[in-house]
């Protein structure tokens, strides 16, 4: 077994591990969705502004999941560790 294969194998595991970051965004955005639905139920006439605030916050919560995705894609498609 050569060293390059070991690095590539570890990169595949690393890419999978990086995706675990998505747990946080999933929980957080779901919480935002629940609170948004609750608020719209209380003030249906404010639906536009509630939805806008919910989506703005969810977009921020998405960032760390996207960081994980970017690292996974780098490990797979532009791996600087492979010579």
Cα separation, 3 vs 6, in Å, equals 5
Alpha carbon separation from 59 to 8, 18, 19 (Å, rounded): 32, 19, 17
- Least CB distance to a second copy at residue 36 (A): 4
Q: Which residues contact 25 (CB under 8 A, 6 or more apart)?
A: 61, 62, 64, 65
- Least CB distance to a second copy at residue 48 (A): 9
3-state secondary structure of 16: helix
């Amino acid at each position: 077994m050569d060293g390059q294969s070991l690095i590539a194998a570890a990169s595949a595991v690393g890419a999978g591990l990086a995706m675990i970051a998505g747990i946080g965004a999933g929980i957080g955005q779901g919480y935002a969705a629940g609170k948004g639905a609750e608020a719209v139920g209380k003030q249906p006439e404010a639906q536009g502004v509630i939805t806008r605030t919910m989506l703005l916050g969810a977009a921020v919560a998405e960032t760390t999941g996207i960081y994980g995705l970017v690292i996974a894609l780098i490990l797979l498609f532009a791996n600087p560790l492979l010579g």
